[in-house]
Amino acid sequence: MVPNRIQVALGEGVVANAPHIVLSSGLGSCVAVILYDAQRGIGGLAHIMLPAQLRNAECGMWNEQSATCTEPGRSVRIPKSTFQCADTAIAALLERLRSRGAVRRDIVAKMVGGARMFSCYENPDTGIGKQNVVSVKRILRRERIALIGEDTGGHHGRSVEFHLDSGRVIVMAIGREEREI
Amino acid sequence: MNNQEMLSEEQVDFLREMMNIGAGNAATALGQMLRCQVNMEIPLAHVLPVPKVFSVLGDPSLPVACVRMGMVGDVVGELFFIVPAGQRADLTHLAERAMPGPTKKAPDLDLSVLTEIGNILVGVYLTAIHDFCQLHIYHTVPTIAIDMIQSLLDESIVALSPHVRALILIENEFIVEERHIRTFLLLIPAVQSVRTLVDSVEGARMAYGSE
């Protein structure tokens, strides 16, 4: 079978089977969350933009105050789409993996992205990238899913290739060596 | 901007007229900086859906240089001056040639040159908007980064306006010694400023006529 290369755009998510390859490019503050059941060759990737839906107080680093206090004019209207926010995206990936036959205890996670592209004047901890990373980790802990690889933070953009036959995740960045996580 | 708030075709035309006035001043300012004759094509103003903005700027996997500034004042948001992959070398070459000898080899010179060009362009365009629309908009200190366009813009799009459907992209083409150099200016108003911006553009369009 010839593997398809499935592109995942900003704020979207995909679940696929081996031997396909799922790609997502141009990750800045966004995070690609990858869930994979190696036993069954089923996996998913979500290109998330935000740490959480605002209404979900439990994942509440992302709130109106923190989003507006350091950078005037930034607002916090939260999109409704499932794959745009870490909490709803991970829940949706898990549900779709389960319906394809993945077994919860065999699912592991990797994540890529969460950079602060323009670094000069801002505290890195207030950036959405950092908040995305923290939120994804918190949700994975709560869901008892092991995070077995990550390439996050820094000040550079990333693209990612997820090979469903092996579970390999290749991270590409301009001017840097490819990295496998 | 969502569908109801998007600029109409007439308003985009008017915006382009304002930018054209600014472009004359930009060409003069750039000519002084580069120490040669700089001409500018009439700028194009596009209102584009977000994914289209990325594709207009060329292959999304190639690096672009991007100067980011905050907008403060009557309209809040962010501004980006974008130089696509193929154009950067041309622009910095011209700038380096205009520099006096010893500074030629300064590290990061091309970054500061691009930052300054972005500074000049944004300044003249904001002045044009002020003169026509009576909007006082100031920009904050510029910062530059070079990377894939989507990675550079995603945080701003998410933070300013996650419901955004369309962005205002102004395309500038300089002509320097028969070389054509295309650059872009992207305006991302914060969600609470979109109404102010659209209303002011419409007010100015009515006041100055749409001939």
**pLDDT (tens digit, 9 = 90+) per residue, B124-140?**
888 888 888 888 999 99
Q: Residue B1: inside a domain, yes or no?
A: no
* pLDDT on residue A163: 97
Alpha carbon of A114: minimum distance to chain B alpha carbons (Å): 10
* pLDDT on residue A146: 97
Sites in chain A below the pLDDT cut of 70? 54-81, 120-125
Q: Which domain holds residue B188?
A: 9-208
Q: B94 or B72: which carries more pLDDT confidence?
A: B72
* pLDDT on residue B30: 84
The β-bridge partners of A31 are: A48, A113
CATH of the domain at B196: 3.40.1550.10
* pLDDT on residue A132: 94
Tell me which chain A residues have a C-beta less than 8 angstroms from the C-beta of B161. 75, 77
Q: How far is it, in rounded angstroms, from Cα A77 to Cα B50?
A: 17
Cβ-nearest to B163 among A79, A116, A175: A79
Phi, then psi, of B187 in degrees rounded to 5: -110, 120
Q: Residue B189: inside a domain, yes or no?
A: yes
Per residue in B172-193, pLDDT (tens digit) is 888 888 888 889 999 888 878 8
Helices (H) and strands (E) in chain A, counts: 3, 10
* pLDDT on residue A138: 95
* pLDDT on residue A74: 35
Q: Residue B187: inside a domain, yes or no?
A: yes
| Residues A16-25 as b or e (16 or more Cβ within 10 Å = b) | bbbebbbbbb
> Taken in order B82, B11, B189, B71, is the CA torsion positive or negative?
positive
Which residues, in sequence order, are CB contacts of A169 under 8 Å at separation 6+?
A: A34, A110, A112, A149, A160, A161, A162, A163, A180, A181
Rounded alpha-carbon distances, angstroms, from residue A68 to A53, A74, B37: 16, 5, 44
Amino acid of residue B64: V
Per residue in A63-113, pLDDT (tens digit) is 333 332 223 333 333 344 688 889 999 999 999 999 999 999 999 999 999
Alpha carbon of A50: minimum distance to chain B alpha carbons (Å): 7
* pLDDT on residue A63: 35
3-state helix vs strand vs coil in chain A, percent to 5 = 25, 30, 45
**Does the predicted interface ipTM exceed a cut of 0.90?**
no
* pLDDT on residue B159: 77
Inter-chain CB proximity A174 and B147 less than 8 Å: yes
Cβ-nearest to B145 among A30, A71, A117: A117
The β-bridge partners of B173 are: B182
CATH of A5-180, one of 3.40.50.720, 3.40.309.10, 3.30.1330.200, 2.40.37.10: 3.30.1330.200
Give me the number of domains chain B comprises.
Answer: 1
* Lowest-pLDDT range of B5-19, B103-117, B139-153: B103-117
* pLDDT on residue A66: 30
Amino acid of residue B211: E
Q: Residue B113: inside a domain, yes or no?
A: yes
Q: How far is it, in rounded angstroms, from Cα B159 to Cα B71?
A: 14
> Which residues 22-81 of chain B have a CB within 8 Å of chain A?
50-51, 54, 60-61, 63, 68, 70-72, 76-77
* pLDDT on residue B165: 62
Q: Is it true that the peptide bond before A19 is cis, omega within 30 degrees of 0? A: yes
Q: Does B138 touch chain A (CB under 8 A)?
A: no
* pLDDT on residue B100: 66
Domain ranges of chain A: 5-180
Contact A125, A59 (CB under 8 A): no
